[in-house]
Amino acid sequence: MPPTRTLAATLFMTLDGVVEAPEKWSFPFWSDETGKFKLAELHATDALLLGRVTYEGFAAAWPGQKDPDGFADRFNSMPKYVASKTLKKLEWNNSHLIKGELAAEVSKLKQQKGRDIVIHGSPTLIRSLLPHNLIDEYRLLVYPLVRGQGKRLFDEASQANLKLAESQTFSKGVVKLVYRPAPKRGAATKPGRASPKRGPGSKKA
Amino acid in position 188 = A
Residue 195's pLDDT is what?
A: 42
Q: Is a pLDDT exceeding 90 seen at residue 173?
A: yes
> Band of the pLDDT at 198, cuts 50, 70, 90?
very low
What is the C-alpha to C-alpha distance for residues 154 and 179, in angstroms, rounded to an integer? Answer: 14
Average pLDDT over every residue of 165-188 = 89
Residue 13's pLDDT is what?
A: 98
Residue 192's pLDDT is what?
A: 46
Contacting residues for 122 by C-beta, under 8 A, at least 6 apart: 9, 49, 50, 51, 53, 54, 83
DSSP 196: P
Q: Is 132 or 199 the better-scoring residue by pLDDT?
A: 132
CA angle 28, 63, 110 (to 5 degrees): 90
pTM for the structure as a whole = 0.86
Q: What is the pLDDT of residues 155-165, one digit of tens each?
A: 989 999 999 99
What is the C-alpha to C-alpha distance for residues 141 and 122, in angstroms, rounded to an integer? Answer: 15
Residue 2's pLDDT is what?
A: 63
Average pLDDT over every residue of 85-102 = 94
Strand order in the sheet with 137-143: 95-97, 80-83, 45-51, 116-120, 7-14, 137-143, 175-181, 162-169
Q: What is the pLDDT of residues 43-57, one digit of tens each?
A: 999 999 999 999 999
In terms of Cα–Cα distance, which of 94, 58, 90 is closest to 79?
94
Q: Is 164 helix (H, G, I), strand (E, B) or coil?
A: strand
> Band of the pLDDT at 203, cuts 50, 70, 90?
very low
Residue 204's pLDDT is what?
A: 42
Residue 72's pLDDT is what?
A: 94
Question: How deeply is 186 buried, as exposed, middle or buried, from its count of CB atoms within 10 A (0-12, 13-18, 19+)?
Answer: exposed
What is the C-alpha to C-alpha distance for residues 94 and 47, in angstroms, rounded to an integer? Answer: 10
Residue 190's pLDDT is what?
A: 44
CATH of domain 7-181: 3.40.430.10
Q: Is a pLDDT exceeding 90 seen at residue 171?
A: yes
